[in-house]
Amino acid sequence: MSNPEAMRQVQSLGKQLGLGESTPAPPPAAPVQPPVSGDMMAAFSKLAPLMNAAKPSDETTALLNALRPFLSGEKLERLNSAQKLLSLIRMIPLLKDSGLFL
């Protein structure tokens, strides 16, 4: 290649893909997980059923999902926001009855 900048970009890409290196790059270090307390585990055990209860779809979510292929851009973003809001609204009574919040 006659363009030195293009040659550097190709070499850089080759190095990122592991080509042309005699020694392999060391694997990234695994992230350290903070310890989970008993209180957190109790809260998680109460939240897990709530999250599963929020998943079931009904006629409203089926309608919103059916509209998805016909939308694009801003309208699709608004549909996503509406679905998130709908799931949060459905969770309010479940959270109230769970006893997690006073």
Q: Where are the domains of the chain?
A: 49-102
- pLDDT category of residue 43 using cuts at 50, 70 and 90: confident
Kindly report the pTM of this predicted structure.
Answer: 0.45
Cβ contact 64:82 at 8 Å: yes
DSSP category for residue 101? -
- Supply the mean pLDDT for the chain: 75
Using only C-alpha atoms, the chain has a radius of gyration, in whole angstroms, of 25
Q: In which residue are the tokens 């005699």 written?
A: 22
Q: What is the pLDDT of residue 22?
A: 53
- Taking the CA atoms of residue 92, residue 96, residue 97 and residue 99 in that order, the dihedral angle to the nearest 10 degrees is 140
User: What would the two tokens of residue 84 be?
Assistant: 């998130």
- pLDDT category of residue 76 using cuts at 50, 70 and 90: very high
Q: What is the pLDDT of residue 64?
A: 86
Q: What is the pLDDT of residue 74?
A: 93
